[in-house]
Structure formats: C-alpha cells, structure tokens
Amino acid sequence: MSNKERHMNSIMLMLQHYFKELSTVLDTEGSQHINVQEIYKDKRIIKIFLNICECIRANNECSIPMNHLHIAKASNQCQAFFMTILYTELWTLSNNEMNVNHIKLDDKLKNPTFQQVATKAYKSIGCYDAISGFLSPIQSRLEFLNLSNNWSEMLLQNSFENAASSDLCTAALKRNGILCLADLGSKSTDKSVDHEVLWRLCQWDMPVEGHLRVNIANNQEEEFKKHHFNALKCLYNREQQNCLAAIANARQCVIHNLMGISIECLQSVYKYLTWLHTLQQAEDFCQVQFISDLDIKSIFAKWQLDNNLKYGGFYCKEMLLSHQITLFKTAGIRGQRRIIEFFKYSPIETSLLNVIKECKKSGEISLAKRNILALREIEIANEHVKLNLLLEDAEISFRCGNIEITEALLKHALTHKDLGACPQQARALRMYGEFLLETNSQSFEYVLEKMFTRSMLYLEKIFKSQKYREYDELSFLYLDDLKPADFENENKKEAYKVIAKYADREYVQSNMLINSEEFKLKRQIILQNRQTADSIGRQNKDRDINHGVIIMKKYASLDETEIKFVEEKRTNDLCIAVKNYMKLCQIDSGFSSAEVYRIIAMWFANKQDEALQKEIKDNINIIPSYKFICALNQITARLSAKHIEFVSIIKEILVKCLQDHPHHTLYQLYPLIFDDSGNKVNKTRSSIAAEIITRGRNTSNAHCAKQLALVFPALIQFANVEAEKSSTMSLGDKLKRMKCLDAVHCPTIELPVLPSKDYTITSIIKWDERVSLVGGINAPKKLMCLCSDGKSRPQLLKGRDDLRQDAVMQQYFSLMNTLLCCDPKTSERKISIRTYKVVPLSMRSGILEWCENTVPIGLYLGSGSDKSGAHRKYRPSDITPQKCRQISMQHLKSDLQKRLLVYEQICAQIKPVFHYFLLEKFVVPGIWFERRLAYTNSLAANSMVGFVVGLGDRHTQNILIDEQSAELIHIDFGIAFEQGKIMPTPETVPFRLTRDMVAPMGICETGGVFKKACQATLEVLRKNHSVIITILEVLLYDPLYIWNVVPSPGGSNDDEKNLTAQRALLCVQHKLEGRLSSITSAVNTDVQVQRLINDAVSKQNLCRLYPGWDPYL
C-alpha cells in the first residue's frame, strides 16, 4: 500500500469516527447529554469536516466510501441543506450503485432518520414538491397532510398524536389564519408562548419575561419573537425608550441567527430579512408616534414602495402587510392624526384588501377568508372599501362553492344606494354576469344586455363624470393600486375579455349542436315530413288525413324555426366574440396573446359567413400589426384559399406586417415563392406571396427584400448539393459571394417583436468557406455564420427535408413558454421548454440554429460505442449498450412474453448511470441541486408537451442535454401526431422515461418534483386547449409532406381538410380533454399524469420498442 493510500485510509477512518459520534450527539440532543466536546458543537468545526468530505468526493469520481446519512445529518446541523440532499441521494445509491430492486429501495426510504433529515432539508429550501416523493403517508401521516394544507384532517389526526404533532398542527392553523385556535394550541402545551400569534391578535396583556436583554443560551429565533412582541407592546403602551431597546434586542437576535446560517441557501435568509424589515417598520412607526418634527410622507411612501416589491415568497409579503396592520392599530392620537394626514382614509382597510389580493394570487383561500372577516369587523366609512370588500367576499365564496352567499353579496353590491357611484360597480356588474352564466341561471343574451353592456356603459359614464376626474391617486388605493387612467384601461380589457369569453362559449355550444347527429336527424325529419305532407295533400281529400298533414307541417315549421334560431344565434355569438377579441387585442400590449389565435381560428373556420367577414373587414385594422407576427405560420398557410374576399383581407394583414415588421414577415413569404414542389396549389400561393412583397415594398424594407431574394435561392441550392463522403466541403460559390448583408437579420437569432417597429438587427457579414458535414440520411451541412456583432454562430443547413413541421413545433413550444410563464404554478417552478430557431427555406429545405454546449444523451451514455461513454466508465462490468441492442434485435419478432423476459434479463445486466452527468458536471452541492431541478422540470415539460402532439422517435440521439444548464432539448420532429404508432415496430410509450432518464431525479424518481411539474404543465395545456388546436390547425390547410404524398381522389380542394391531419388533431383534442382513450370519459389532471407515467415506465410497453430506441437506457 502506497503512502497516499495509507494517508487516505487514515483520513477516512477519522472522518467516519467523527461523523458517527456527531450523529450520536445529534440523536441525544434533546436529552441531558453532558460532557459533549466542543468539536461536536461548534458549527465552524463541523463545516471543516464537511469540506474535507467534499474535497475527497470531488477528487474520487463523485464517491466517498462512508455512511452518507451521517454526513447528511451533519450538513443539516450547519444548515448546508443542498449538501444534505446530495448526501441523502448518495446514501440511496450506496448499495452497489443502485443494484437494488424497487422494493428494497422503498424500504430504505422508510428509514426514520432519512425521512427526518430529508424532510427538514427540503422544507428549509422551500422545495415541498420533492417531499411528497419520499414521505411515507403511513409513518408520517401529519406531515403528509400538511403538504396539502389539509388542516381539518390534521386536527382530527392530532387527537391521537404527541406534542411534536401539536406543534405541526399549530403551525398549520397559523398558516391558515385560524389564530385563536393556534393560540389555544400553543398554551395547551408546555412550550413557550407563541409571540407571533399574540401580536397578530393584538393581545398586549401577556407579560414578557426576560425582556431586558437577549439570553444567548436560548433559541435565538424564539428570543427574536419575544423581543419583537415586546417592542410592539411598548409601542402600544406609548413607551418610546423601551420600544427602541426591544427593537435593538430583536435586531441583535436576527444578526446572531444570520451569523450561523449557511449562505448556500437563500430560503432561510428571506425569513431573517423579513424579520429585519418588520423591525425597520416598527422603528419607523416609533418615529411617527413619538417624534414631532418628522417627514411623514417619506416614511409612508417608502412603505408603499416596499409593498410593491417582489419577495422571496408569499408568507414574507403577508407578514409585512399584516405587521403594518398591527402597527396602525397601535397608533395613538398623534399617530392616528398623521396617518389620516397622509392616507386620507384608513390604511388598515387598504392593507387588509392588499393581503386578500395576495392570498388570492397564492391560492391561500383560508387566509383570504380570515382577512375578509377581519375587514368586516371594522366600521367602514369609505364606500370604495365597502364595495371592494363585498366583491372580494363574493369571489372567495364562489370559489368555495357557496352559491347562495355569493348571489346575496353581489345583489347587495349592485342594489345598495350608497355604493352606486363607485367605479368598481362596473366590476360588480361583470362579476354578477359571470355568476349567472357559470350557474346557468340566465341566458347569455339577458346577461349581455343587463350586465355586461351595462358594465361598459357605466364605465363610459363614470369616466366622463366630473367626480371621477376629481379623484386623486390615493383614492385609487382601493382600486387594485391603479391610477385612474390605468384603472380605466384595465376595466375595459376585463370587460372585452369577459364578453368575448362567454360569447365564444355560446358559439362553441351552438356549433357543436349544429354539427351533432341529433341536429342532422332533425333536418332529415323536417325534409321527410315536408315531402310526406306534400304527397298526401295532393292525393287525398280525407278530412282526418288532411288534419294530420297540417299537424306535420306545423311540427316541421316549428323545427325549422328552432334550427333557424340556433343558426342565427351561432352567427350572432360568433360575431360578438370576434368583435370583442379584436377590441381586447387593440388595447392589450402583449405580443403573443391567446386572443389573436382565437380570432384566427374562428375566422378561418367560418370564412363563408358573410356577417363575420363584414365584422372582420370593418374592425381587423384596429389590431396592431405586431399582434399577427406570432401567427404568420397560420396566416400564410391560407393564401391558397378560393374565397376572394377572405384572401383579400389576409393580403392586407400581411402587407401591413411586411411594412412594419419586414424581418419577420419576409422569412415567412419567401419560402412560398421559392417552393419547389411543383404543386398547382403551391404555385398559386407563390404568386400571391410575390404580389404581397411587391405591394408591401417601401423605402424601409426594399433593401432587406432585395438581399433576401438573393440569399434564399443560394441557401436552397447549396442545401441540396450532393456531399462527398468526407467530413468537410467548401462553401457554394453563390454563398461565397454573399457578404456584408447589412439588411438581412441572421435567421437563426431570435428577433423580439417590437410594437415601436424600431429594430436593431444582427446582420450577416459572411459564411465561413469551410463547411462541416454532420452525417445523416440527407447529409446536413454545418455552416459558420459571422454576424455583425462579431460572433460566429454555427447553423445547420438541411436539404431534401421538410422542416415546416419542425417550425410549427417550435412555434408551439414558444407559445407554451408564454403560457407557462403566465401561470402561477409553472412560473413559480420555473418550468419552460428549450427552443431553437427553425427557418424553412422551401418545402424541402431549411436552416436551423445549432444548439451549442449540448450533447446527445446517447453519446454521453455510450449507446454508439463499446469503448466510451458513461456506462463504460462507471459500470465497466455491465454489458455494453451495443450488446443489449444485439440481444434485443435477435428477439425482435418473438412474442410478447419472450421479449419481456429478454428485456428484464438485459436490465439485470446493465444499470442506469445518467445521474453521474450531474454529479461530474456540477460538483458544488447548491449548483448540483439547481441543475437537477432544471433537468427534472425540463423533462416533465417536454414529456407533457410532447405527449399532447404525439411526438415520437425519442431515441437517445434525438434528445440533447445542455452541459451548462442540464436542460433537455428535443430535436427532429419528423415523427409526430402518433405517426410512431404506425411504424413497422410501433411505439408503445407516450414519452421517453426510461431508467437512465429517471436516474438523475434521485430518490423521488417519477414522483415528487417530476410528477408535480407534469401536473402543473398539463393543467396549463388543458386550460389553453383552444389556442393549441389553433396553432396545430395550420397542418390541416398546409398538409405535411408525409400526409400529402397521396393526392385526394377527384382532385384536391385547397380548402379541404386533410383527413389524416383531422384524425391527428382529434387525438390532440382527446388528450387535452383528459380522455385516456377514444372510448373513455375525461379524467382529472392528476389521474391522467399518473396513467401516463405508468405507461411510460411499463416494462410491457418498453420491451416492445424497436432496439434502436434503446429502451434499456
């Protein structure tokens, strides 16, 4: 044994002994453990030992041969929570590198020490999603109920639990605003008084023991709460010096806590910063109360500014707002006078309304109810507050299913004489209208006239009135913190949105009825009755028979009247919806709004409707041109339509887009001009595109159009050049001459759409003469493009390949990112999809953005080589992926039982190693955790979004992983819309979730963070199903190459939907409805996600996949 090995063994023995003893000390911390050496108590010393462990792990291929659970416990003690999580993961991997079956792993996760350590770590960093992935509902029932904030069940369970459980229940009661019960719960135990509950309840009669100085021996968090409460109590009792002394003591406690925390996790820092903020508020209010010569405006203006800042979490902001309310309640005569001097009205009411608003945003309904009750207890003088309170109460009541209470509150808001002049009456009318429609209490026509239209008229009236113009900005603190002008604009937006929403709903219902079998049958009955009545009436003069004929005719007339009414209603609702969507787009400043897609969907589906065409023609110009840029794919696909008036309007839109946004529009039009399919329909579209470019050409875009007219054919020609069997080739002659294209924006760089139209482009200087050949069936070429910003960007040029489907998919992903960003659940989790630019040059060529700093997961794992890859590196004794493929290929034609047996035998001989990607690339625990979270969220988002569009061919070379962010990037979207199911070896899984894909997610596997992210993403998809269908509908009118090979019988109608494409969109529709199959009813999101996960990891499904898909990796 070398000296190095002996030294290492000595260090390992020393570390093992230290952490084992430390674990024993921590286990007995609650008891009278005497004679504990300083080495086990001082956090600085523990951190030194942890740093030694990290150095060994970083230099020993991500492993350290010790009891990782002991190290995890030590990390928790030092508040190094990311390190705790890392070592709990290593602990689960310690038995022969995951060489355990799932039952044994589950048993291991039931270890009480692990459950306690891991739960504390994840709670401390605020990652509650992960806890549900490993927490045992049997062993830790209360903790499990606490995750879903099921406080009523917790109280019931607590009846038979211990004191520690009582603490958990008390915390849950506090979180839900049930402070009186929380106060009783804390007093019923032997624990110290909960001072936070006391100041929230304004119970100042409780004596404070040891308030003169900070006791260092006590828990410093409890000491802070005590001194903080004492400061507020002294403020209430008008004891200025005692108040300032208590604030100083409390601040000393926070500083002491900050000195002991780990800086790797900011979650704990947020809490202490919030505490410091409350102390600053108390100090400010002490000045307001006691100092005569003071600039009041600067203090309260600062508070208002602070209220609008973003905080580390909901509870931080809620605490600050609630603390302000308590301070206002402690005000004496001088304080009250100064408060009124600045706020004009009671700030307590304003703050309570703000808290209610924040509670609604965060889904904290119980807490919102508590603050509504608190506001109802106040004698409110201001009519704005009264009306806002009624509306907030009504909204919360409706969310909770209290229909009668909701209706009573809304009626009171609308009929009370003192509230009639408030601007928020417009909101009350809208809310009552929505309530009537959601409960089906009135018809849409009635609600439109009596509620929605009245709401709009009321807005116009109130905005013109002298009283409204005299309102100062402080009055609008009661109107969602908006200035008068903003309030007017926001209310108009809401009015247009709600009218369009319900008109759209009525239109959809009428449309479904008109297209239903019942309606078709009714038409047939009318026709049959008419024919029968006419034939009998001409041949028979019998009185009874003639009477029967009259009855038949009357029934036929009655049915015809009903059909006419439904058709007229459908048209009317359609026009109302489109009109209000257009008005909404006019005043909404967003770039890619769902309303634009909805207008296009309704317009394109009803282009023969004359009333709608007139509505569109009269009002389409009110929509700013930049709104249409996101939907250019859908608009240009309809240029071949035969309806002259319809195409004429589209031309006008595109001409306007070209004049205002040439760098976006020309990249959509030129591929139509240079279409090389020879199809008659496409030739028509090409001539229309050329006409649009000619009409839209002006001084600002002429140079750009001229240069692009040269670039496109040059790129198309070179894309289709036959490449020799080598790794490089020279750039084409035409492209060599393309230099200093100062008016051409580099196509593979995203150019944000600007309403101002003032674009600063990154132009093309030249392409490098040396071209790399990537390899593949069509030999794509890798170009290096030098841009005007001095950077050389790699691009992938493809010939003999249709990239329109890839472009539509990227548009779909981009829209999904917009929707995910707007949704509270997904934005909080930072869920998004990595996209890249795809620019079709013609029907059979295109150029793509090269994804830098990425590697195919197959290349990393070593699926294409026997001598390299992670499997070879970390598990050299396993069989190679190539051998797995060979064995699987030999049994490709075998029956299911045999293939399943072979698959299980292969899996027994090769274990997942993809988790080493994160361990080796990101050594620092905090960065490792962040990247793992990014990987998990990325996998979840791509899985759900890919499932909806039936994305297939997800083998290990078609999924890239970013080496810097660990996000996944999917490429090659040629197999989509369930086409994988009709391949020679059908695909049987909804998305790739093999063992290697699961391994980086750690102990939670497919539960915890992954499952919650899937649920949140699928909820957004299902909520926006109409927008998604609109984007994908472009494929109905611009059929994919693979779907357009066989011409339609009897010639092709350019407006006729491709039946195969219709089937594909029907599948998408079923998925977004939550239907597991075409014969089952819809299920909720949680059930759908669990079923998809089960299908994706099913051995019976994986064993049937083609061996080249590498289902065992």
Q: Is the pLDDT of residue 411 over 90?
A: yes
Q: How confident is the model at residue 410 (pLDDT cuts 50, 70, 90)?
A: very high
* CATH code for position 903: 1.10.1070.11
Q: How confident is the model at residue 848 (pLDDT cuts 50, 70, 90)?
A: very high
pLDDT in tens, 230-270: 999 999 999 999 999 999 999 999 998 888 777 777 777 88
pLDDT computed for residue 472 by the predictor:
47
Domain shared by 314 and 219, yes or no = yes
Q: Which of 202, 564, 148, 620 is nearest to 377 (CA)?
A: 202
pLDDT computed for residue 466 by the predictor:
52
Q: Is the pLDDT of residue 935 over 90?
A: yes
pLDDT computed for residue 482 by the predictor:
54
Q: How far is 124 from 262, CA to CA, in rounded Å?
A: 11
Q: Is the pLDDT of residue 318 over 80?
A: yes
Q: Which two tokens stand for residue 421?
A: 């002049």
Asked if 476 and 382 count as a contact pair (C-beta separation under 8 A), the reply is no
Give 778's Cβ-side CA count (13 Å radius). 17
Q: How confident is the model at residue 711 (pLDDT cuts 50, 70, 90)?
A: very high
Q: Does some domain include residue 1079?
A: yes
pLDDT computed for residue 1051 by the predictor:
47
Tell me which residue has tokens 């119980």: 366
Domain shared by 233 and 110, yes or no = no
**CB neighbours of residue 880 within 10 Å:** 19
Domain shared by 103 and 247, yes or no = no
pLDDT computed for residue 760 by the predictor:
93
Average pLDDT over residues 1047-1067: 63
Q: How confident is the model at residue 471 (pLDDT cuts 50, 70, 90)?
A: low
**Alpha-carbon distance values, 349 to 360, 428, 675, 698, 1107 (Å):** 17, 19, 65, 57, 67
Q: Is the pLDDT of residue 539 over 80?
A: no
Per-residue buried b or exposed e for 160-192, using 16+ beta carbons within 10 Å of the residue's own CB: eeeeebbbbbbbbbbbbbbbebbbebbeeeeee
Average pLDDT over residues 767-791: 89
pLDDT in tens, 85-116: 999 999 988 754 544 444 466 677 788 889 88
**Alpha-carbon distance values, 1027 to 868, 1058, 1072 (Å):** 45, 20, 11
Q: Does some domain include residue 23?
A: yes
Asked if 616 and 577 count as a contact pair (C-beta separation under 8 A), the reply is no
pLDDT in tens, 1004-1037: 899 999 999 999 999 999 998 888 887 887 666 5
pLDDT computed for residue 99 by the predictor:
45
Q: Is the pLDDT of residue 1050 over 50?
A: no
pLDDT computed for residue 995 by the predictor:
95
Average pLDDT over residues 165-179: 73
Q: Phi, psi at residue 1006, to the nearest 5°?
A: -85, 0
Q: How confident is the model at residue 887 (pLDDT cuts 50, 70, 90)?
A: very high
Least confident window among 38-52, 142-156, 408-422, 836-850: 142-156
Q: Does some domain include residue 960?
A: yes
The residue type of 751 is L
The residue out of 278, 310, 344 marking a domain boundary is 344
Q: Which two tokens stand for residue 322?
A: 């609630």
Q: How confident is the model at residue 141 (pLDDT cuts 50, 70, 90)?
A: confident
- Cα-based torsion angle of the residue sequence 460, 463, 467, 470 in order, rounded to the nearest 10 degrees: -170
Q: How far is 977 from 1060, CA to CA, in rounded Å?
A: 10
Domain shared by 128 and 209, yes or no = no
Q: Which two tokens stand for residue 735?
A: 């492209």
pLDDT computed for residue 480 by the predictor:
47
Q: Phi, psi at residue 63, to the nearest 5°?
A: -130, 155
Parent domain of 114:
3-139
Q: Is the pLDDT of residue 481 over 70?
A: no
Domain shared by 108 and 223, yes or no = no
Q: How far is 1086 from 1089, CA to CA, in rounded Å?
A: 5
The residue out of 344, 367, 385 marking a domain boundary is 344
Least confident window among 568-572, 738-742, 944-948, 1049-1053: 1049-1053
Q: Which of 201, 202, 183 is nearest to 331 (CA)?
A: 202
Q: Does some domain include residue 1045?
A: yes
pLDDT in tens, 280-315: 999 999 988 888 777 888 888 888 888 877 777 788
Q: Does some domain include residue 131?
A: yes
Domain shared by 915 and 1002, yes or no = yes
Domain shared by 118 and 196, yes or no = no
Q: Does some domain include residue 27?
A: yes
**Residue partners of 859: CB distance under 8 A and separation at least 6:** 869, 957
Helix (H, G, I), strand (E, B) or coil at 284: helix
The residue out of 344, 362, 385 marking a domain boundary is 344
Distance of CA 941 to the CA centre of its chain: 9
Length of the chain equals 1113
What are the percentages of helix, strand and coil residues in the chain, rounded to 5? 65, 5, 30
Q: Is the pLDDT of residue 707 over 90?
A: yes
Q: Is the pLDDT of residue 470 over 60?
A: no
- Where is 1037: in which H helix or E strand? helix 1034-1037
Domain shared by 222 and 324, yes or no = yes
Say whether pTM exceeds 0.75.
Answer: yes
* Identity of the highest mean pLDDT range in 38-47, 329-338, 839-848: 839-848
Domain shared by 985 and 885, yes or no = yes
Q: Does some domain include residue 1057?
A: yes
What is the number of domains present in the chain? 3
Q: Is the pLDDT of residue 31 over 50?
A: no
Q: How confident is the model at residue 801 (pLDDT cuts 50, 70, 90)?
A: confident
Q: Phi, psi at residue 838, to the nearest 5°?
A: -125, 120
Q: Is the pLDDT of residue 1057 over 60?
A: no
**CB neighbours of residue 920 within 10 Å:** 15
pLDDT computed for residue 484 by the predictor:
61
Q: Is the pLDDT of residue 344 over 90?
A: no
Query: Quick one: what percent of the chain has pLDDT higher than 70?
Result: 90
Q: Is the pLDDT of residue 1041 over 50?
A: no
pLDDT computed for residue 266 by the predictor:
72
Q: How far is 478 from 198, CA to CA, in rounded Å?
A: 28
566: buried, middle or exposed (CB in 10 Å: 19+, 13-18, 0-12)?
Answer: middle
* Identity of the highest mean pLDDT range in 178-192, 289-303, 556-570: 556-570
pLDDT computed for residue 187 by the predictor:
57
The residue ranking higher by pLDDT, 80 or 175, is 80
Q: How confident is the model at residue 1046 (pLDDT cuts 50, 70, 90)?
A: very low
Q: Which of 880, 896, 894 is nearest to 1099 (CA)?
A: 896
Q: Which of 673, 757, 745, 764 is nearest to 713 (CA)?
A: 673
Q: How far is 138 from 27, CA to CA, in rounded Å?
A: 23
Q: Does some domain include residue 914?
A: yes
Domain shared by 1045 and 907, yes or no = yes
Tell me which residue has tokens 């047996």: 901
Least confident window among 414-423, 601-610, 807-816, 909-918: 414-423
Average pLDDT over residues 929-935: 96
444: buried, middle or exposed (CB in 10 Å: 19+, 13-18, 0-12)?
Answer: buried
Domain shared by 104 and 221, yes or no = no
Domain shared by 128 and 204, yes or no = no
The residue ranking higher by pLDDT, 95 or 665, is 665
